[in-house]
Chain A
């Protein structure tokens, strides 16, 4: 007779809710050489939600965006993107998933040897779509960012703000479910910054895309949280006095840890001295 094996009462870990959540971070840690970049970071991005990530330089904001795309791999923890645990996926498998996630890089990262058309159409051309369809979708994406006239220009002949807008067009051309913005207004003048934020708002309210937005500018976040895009007038309007949920929340990072995750209202009433000083 074989000896009886003691039954351990271990419950399996509950499966994360990937139906209502676009991105889930579970205890994600990452270290570069001797520097701890992220330390046990956990947060969720609901479908249709825009989360504004704030924090000083080096706090790990951009790294989170790269982790969402599998461009960096965490040392520990799990990352779920659109229901897929990307920490267990190979680079080949990630290439398919990335078609559902768009990213706008800090310095646009446009291919400088390609024209605006080729940059925006890059993914469609890689998929060998018919030329007519590519052209129509490039025009549509460039119309969205109001840069249709730059189609034959090279990135070097565009201004910083225009490059950022072309970056947005390239990110949205496949109608992704998630958009990641890495400091989209960084280094831009206030007027151009407002134009970019308006485009992000338009994408949020028209296409209902989930988004993670990294920013150093608090006003960008507050503008997104306090305004909505009115497609009738093609402009943004304040939600003041209107019962409207713009699905925008805030997250603040400090030394690789999340020190705040909540709404604009909660952020306004926070007592933490560091956050108070940061938002003042």
Chain B
């Protein structure tokens, strides 16, 4: 028989078809409905902000990969595209383009690459970029414009949550209708306004098992319980849990940011504590904090405890003696 050389390798010899680039691609696809919705509601402002953030994120990633002498093919994993998209989706539509680019550069540089690139970062990169912008440009980051689909006469415009916090909207009966929150016909960050568009993408990710459904479920549960208690006690002062779920960045945060694999726990118990913690912190900040919205800080805060959660929630081994109660 002719010389045949055989591959020698360690088992297993089969592999599930999913891969890192495929996972990243599925997240990009899942964001498209919300991207489309934002373009519909904010028109060209949305388009240029997306382009600015994507360019900033991809170029920064490329520069760092080159500096770290890593193959540029790693760009193809798609994670920089996700960071760029997600950052743009969390920005006020009126933000200047240079500010958006700075946010994208910081997201990739300080949020991800300084830790060693994809898989090594502690914080959600897009949220690091956003947090930076929030401190660097506090006025620009809290100036809102209404969607083009909404005609209003006042010069200033508040988001539904800003309205709730600073205008006492529940008592004044000026709370944004749930219908507008659901469709997205309201002010707010670029990609967070349409609950419907976000949920379509989220459903795809859950069905494809890209994300762990327990994270959004845990966040929704704890935020509902927290805000529900106050709403039941003082319905004349506090908004309903449903209002809190549909407004602000809760849905985009719960389904697309808190679920970031790299910055969420790997253990089942850790995952549940992490999710419940985010929901609780969102409620705490929204009801009693200085900001009208708390999704960003809640996720970043829980990101910090993920390594600790992983270490302290090791799954029980099969046959391991149960700890004495």
A binds B: no
